[in-house]
Amino acid sequence: MSQRYEIADLLIGGNTINVTATVEDDGSLTIFDLSFGPSADAFYGAGRDVEVWLTIPPDAVSRLANCLFGQLVDNPADKAARHLAANYQGDSKAYRKIEAFLDQNNIQYESAMWT
């Protein structure tokens, strides 16, 4: 059963931003960002929401945990998700910052978007 951690659930200038980290049953980690409101409407059309997510596969989650903690840890996906949730709590740019961290540390992930 997957475990979800809230990173940000914000209302800013009429825009709703919700970012979560989910530890998946297979040991992967998914970072999900749902945004809607005037900003999404202006860019994508009225009434549209924007969903972006990235999934870090289990083998790359170990690398992420090592980058975050400087060592290998038990339950790396859960510990990494908790760490990201705590360190980016309430940050409207959490998704992009986490993505940039992954890129800077050459941590593999797959990303997708839906509008």
Domain boundaries, the chain: 3-114
Q: What is the C-alpha to C-alpha distance for residues 105 and 65, in angstroms, rounded to an integer?
A: 11
Res 111 pLDDT > 70: yes
Average pLDDT score over residue span 10-22: 87
Find out whether 61 and 28 touch, Cβ atoms under 8 Å: yes
Residue 76 pLDDT grade (very low, low, confident, very high; cuts 50, 70, 90): very high
Residue type, 111: S
Q: Which two tokens stand for residue 3?
A: 């475990």
Which two tokens mark 85?
């949730």
